[in-house]
């Protein structure tokens, strides 16, 4: 192992996809979380997000503090990128 490799901190898959934006604390794209959690189909992961929103609400939390609509750039194939509305999961 080179000296450079030993100096790099280990990042978990979740830390590797973590984002920060001014006005927010850290957040994660639901699309990227779905991939890290091995969901082949993003639509199936949206069912999990829906259940998490319900659990959040039932525990007395403000859902909008934890789940925010956000635009994602997605690869639609052959080098083309498209914008799609997604969900940001906020810490």
**What ranges do the domains of the chain cover?**
25-90
Q: Which positions ≥6 away from 85 have C-beta within 8 Å?
A: 69, 70, 71, 72
pTM of the model: 0.70
**pLDDT one-digit tens code per residue, 41-87:** 989 999 999 999 999 999 999 998 888 887 666 676 777 666 666 67
**Per-residue pLDDT, 26:** 85
Contact 17, 72 (CB under 8 A): no
Distance CA 91, CA 89 (A): 7
Distance CA 88, CA 19 (A): 10
């Amino acid at each position: 192992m080179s000296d450079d490799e030993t100096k790099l901190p280990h990042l978990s898959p979740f830390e590797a996809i973590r984002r920060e934006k001014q006005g927010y604390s850290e957040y994660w794209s639901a699309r990227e979380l779905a991939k890290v959690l091995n969901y082949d189909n993003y639509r199936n992961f949206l069912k999990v997000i829906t259940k998490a929103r319900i659990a959040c609400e039932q525990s007395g939390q403000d859902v909008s503090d934890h789940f925010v609509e956000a635009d994602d750039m997605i690869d639609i194939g052959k080098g083309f990128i498209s914008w799609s509305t997604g969900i940001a999961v906020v810490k």
